[in-house]
Amino acid sequence: MKPSHLILAATIVGMASCTTREVVEADYNVVPLPMNVEKAAEGAFRFSPSTCLVAADSAQRANARLFADYVETLTGFRPTVCDKAPRKDYIRLTASNKDTKADGYAITVATDSIVIDGADAAGTFYGLQTLRKAIRGGKGDDVLYPAATIGDAPRFAYRGGELDCARHFFPVDSVKTFIDMLAMHNINKFHWHLTDDQGWRIEIKSRPRLTEVGSQRGQTVIKETMFTDSLKYDGIPHGGYYTQEQVRDVVDYAAKRHISVIPEIDLPGHMVAALASYPELGCTGGPYEVRKKWGVSEDLLCVGNDSVYAFLDDVLDEVAGIFPSEYVHIGGDEAPHVRWKKCPKCQAKAHALGLRDDAKGTVEQKLQNHIMKYAADRLAAKGRRVIGWDELIDNGFDTTAVIMSWRGPQDGGQDGTKTGYKVVKVPNTHLYFDYSYAEGDSIGAPYWRKIPLDVVYGYEPVPADYTPEQAANVLGVQGNVWTEFITTFRDVQYMSLPRMAALSELQWSAAPKDYDGFIVRLKDLLPLYEAEGYNYRPLD
Ligand code: TNX
């Protein structure tokens, strides 16, 4: 406990013996930084085991139960949930706030009660997250919330975190813990990378071989040999997949935490696990095997083959049936066209579609756009909007797709804001949490670039030279955890935390950048990581 904290000894009478409980003052300087905190000159609310959480409807009762879990983890006491407010000593959860935008909230801390009024149930949840993160004491302590009014709302509507469960498979419990980590940081989109060359991780009932064959790889390249001329493999089979029942459970778990799960089915590249399962989907017919090494494969779905479109119908229809999300991610990245150029079926398709090389792109780029558009139309018929990587722009996709800008303007990818696309910023220069933090770190991708915490924090999603129209096209910001070189969930946590804290500030807070202030607030978040059992990289 810190000396700066106000510590009062209090005695709770009413038991045969007297128990002394300490009370520790809460601090609203949390991560992400709330927009506006006005502390009253005096007074405070004492949150103790006798306080009840007033929740009048099922959405607020769900919020209250989660908050009770958080409080119990930190203080050891579990507040009760009640329907009606007692005369005093309660925290009331409501969602009738018309003065703030979606996910926003106001908190009024008085001496006898706290009222959290969200714009919606998610807003109330973020208010509760602020109260949770303000707690400074430990087990056995009461919490003293200084009288204040807090007004808060996010900078961006889309606040994402991605986990690659294709390169390495993580069981459902780990995925749920990742979702808890997102929730702690006010993140509301979980981008779930479910398919790739090295593994197909989602059960598709009409295509059983995708998981029978595609979810297993024989072995994996040894990291230290990956960028050498003599690749060596570990001899250890790796596999796993999520049943549709498990996926529904994850979607439900996330929804309770106000997180929408966006599945990614990456096409037409990153499909070798599917080709191994159904070789007729490739240009050469194979044989293919689930890929054992990392990097980009030249084997794509064959755009000239009718069975590929039937395959997409089957997969996307089942995916849309399981995921209620507004968005479905269809990938579109890293698809070299060497096979398509030589494939008679692909070239016949191009001819039938009347495609030609011109200033807008090559025949093969237009073929790629054709298949992406096919997938998008299939999903649009079910009321879904697609997200795709920024290669979508190069290949001529229209502005109905949301662009995930990963290569950033620096590396040659267009970000799309100028040309009217809605964009989520995920630059691999700043927000790729698979890249190591620093020279000499053994965990993570040994790519040339290192991404320390201050680089994450220093990223600005809306550069100063953007026009107002461009700024309005930035839907949000995301951090990605690719797992080629991350093999355990402990390491996923280490790579994500505390970078996710810096990410959450970019996503949520519009306040001017203040790295030193962020570090001070982050130091108070680390005990929460510890209380929840999260692994994280200690601060330098
Ligand atoms: C690029 S991000 C990829 C991923 C890799 C990642 C590694 C993107 C669209 N493609 O397939 O996992 O780099 O950092």
Residue nearest to atom 8 of ligand 1 (CA): 333
From the candidates 103, 196, 203, 266, give the one annotated as an active-site residue.
Answer: 196
Q: From the alpha carbon of 428, which atom of ligand 1 is closest?
A: 14
- The pLDDT assigned to 329 comes to 98
- CA dist 160 and 405 (Å) reads 13
Residue nearest to atom 7 of ligand 1 (CA): 482
- The pLDDT assigned to 6 comes to 43
Ligand 1 lined by 190 (C-beta under 6 Å): no
Dist. CA 394 → ligand 1 center (Å): 17
Ligand 1 lined by 432 (C-beta under 6 Å): yes
User: Buried (b) or exposed (e) across 282-318, using 16+ Cβ within 10 A?
Assistant: bbeeeebebbbbbeebebbbbbbbeebeebbeebbeb
Q: From the alpha carbon of 445, which atom of ligand 1 is closest?
A: 14
Question: How many residues in total does the chain contain?
Answer: 540
Residue nearest to atom 9 of ligand 1 (CA): 333
Residue nearest to atom 5 of ligand 1 (CA): 482
Sign of CA dihedral 530, 535, 539, 540: positive
DSSP 275-316: HHH-GGGBSS--------S-S--S--B-TT-HHHHHHHHHHH
Of 80, 85, 131, 87, nearest to 105 (Cα)?
131
SS3 262: strand
Phi, psi of 385 (to 5 degrees): -110, 145
Please report how the helices 121-134 and 58-75 are oriented relative to each other, as an axis angle in degrees rounded to 10.
10
Mutation choice for ligand 1 from 193, 270, 294, 334, CB with most ligand atoms inside 8 A = 334
Ligand 1 lined by 434 (C-beta under 6 Å): yes
From the candidates 270, 329, 337, 430, give the one annotated as an active-site residue.
Answer: 270
**Residue 354 identity (one-letter amino acid):** G
Cα 143 to chain center, whole Å?
A: 30
270 noted as active-site residue: yes
Dist. CA 533 → ligand 1 center (Å): 28
Ligand 1 lined by 156 (C-beta under 6 Å): no
Residue nearest to atom 10 of ligand 1 (CA): 333
Residue partners of 41: CB distance under 8 A and separation at least 6:
none
Run of H or E residues at 467: none
- The pLDDT assigned to 32 comes to 98
- CA dist 69 and 3 (Å) reads 27
Residue nearest to atom 4 of ligand 1 (CA): 482
Ligand 1 lined by 485 (C-beta under 6 Å): no
334 noted as active-site residue: yes
Dist. CA 111 → ligand 1 center (Å): 51
User: Buried (b) or exposed (e) across 126-156, using 16+ Cβ within 10 A?
Assistant: bbbbbbbbbbbbeeebbbbbbbbebbbbbbb
Q: From the alpha carbon of 164, which atom of ligand 1 is closest?
A: 12
From the candidates 89, 313, 334, 524, give the one annotated as an active-site residue.
Answer: 334
- CA dist 401 and 384 (Å) reads 10
Q: From the alpha carbon of 435, which atom of ligand 1 is closest?
A: 14
Phi, psi of 261 (to 5 degrees): -95, 120
pTM to 2 decimal places: 0.96
Contact between 413 and 391 (Cβ < 8 Å)? yes
- CA dist 336 and 354 (Å) reads 21
Residue nearest to atom 2 of ligand 1 (CA): 406
CA-only gyration radius of the chain, Å = 25
Ligand 1 lined by 334 (C-beta under 6 Å): yes
Mutation choice for ligand 1 from 296, 428, 486, CB with most ligand atoms inside 8 A = 428
- pLDDT per 10-residue tile (average), the chain, 540 residues: 41 44 96 98 97 96 98 97 96 97 98 98 98 96 98 98 98 99 99 98 98 98 94 98 98 98 98 98 97 98 98 98 98 98 98 97 98 98 98 96 88 86 96 95 88 97 95 98 98 98 98 97 98 97
DSSP 368-434: HHHHHHHHHHHHHTTT-EEEEETHHHHTT--TTSEEEE-STGGGT---STTTT--EEE--TTTSBTT
Cα 430 to chain center, whole Å?
A: 15
Contact between 290 and 276 (Cβ < 8 Å)? yes
Ligand 1 lined by 333 (C-beta under 6 Å): yes
Q: Which H, E and C letters describe 138-207, residue by residue?
A: CCCEEEEEEEEEEEECCCCCEEEEEEECCCCCCCHHHHHHHHHHHHHCCCCEEEEECEECCEECECCCCC
How many Cα atoms occupy the beta-carbon half-sphere of 56 within 13 Å?
12
Q: From the alpha carbon of 482, which atom of ligand 1 is closest?
A: 12
Dist. CA 445 → ligand 1 center (Å): 11
Residue nearest to atom 6 of ligand 1 (CA): 482
Dist. CA 334 → ligand 1 center (Å): 8
**Residue 305 identity (one-letter amino acid):** N
Q: From the alpha carbon of 404, which atom of ligand 1 is closest?
A: 9
Contact between 477 and 502 (Cβ < 8 Å)? no
Q: From the alpha carbon of 270, which atom of ligand 1 is closest?
A: 11
Dist. CA 323 → ligand 1 center (Å): 23
Q: From the alpha carbon of 333, which atom of ligand 1 is closest?
A: 9
